[in-house]
Amino acid sequence: MAALTEKKMITDWLKYEEPNHYSRETVTIASGAGVLATGTVLAKVTASGKYVAAAASGSDGTQTAVAVLVTPVDASAADQKAVVVARDAIAGHAGLTWGATINDSTKRAAAITQLAAVGILVRESA
């Protein structure tokens, strides 16, 4: 018998947000960003203003975590509109998805500090 796998849901990572969707914004995910799940930590590319998965290093804005993706999106071939949490929220660490280069506790800690700077607090949770 095959095991059933549930898709990742917003409640896996979003533990609190301000009422009336104050914490959310609609943004553009850059073409080529690929398939991104809810809970993906995002950065804003300075030149274009578009969002991609945050990276551990860079000099174009991708190195600074500034939001978390609410709606899953496939931006493999074209820009896509998406909803993100951009401020005043609490996220559960275990439910977040990190960019490929944010691959150790030191890099995750740096990204968590960056999220805190925009008012997204990351807490240990189930």
pLDDT, tens digit, 9 for 90 and up, residues 34-91: 999 999 999 999 999 999 999 999 899 999 999 999 999 999 999 999 999 999 999 9
Residue 6 forms part of a structural domain: no
Total domains present in the chain:
1
Residue 46 forms part of a structural domain: yes
Overall average pLDDT of the 10-16 stretch:
95
Residue 2 forms part of a structural domain: no
Domain of residue 33, CATH code: 2.40.300.10
- Residue 4's H or E segment, with its range, is none
Range of the domain at 66: 14-123
State the DSSP code for 109.
Answer: H
Residue 117 forms part of a structural domain: yes
Answer for the pair 67, 118: CB distance below 8 angstroms, yes or no.
yes
Overall average pLDDT of the 19-24 stretch:
96
pTM of the model: 0.93
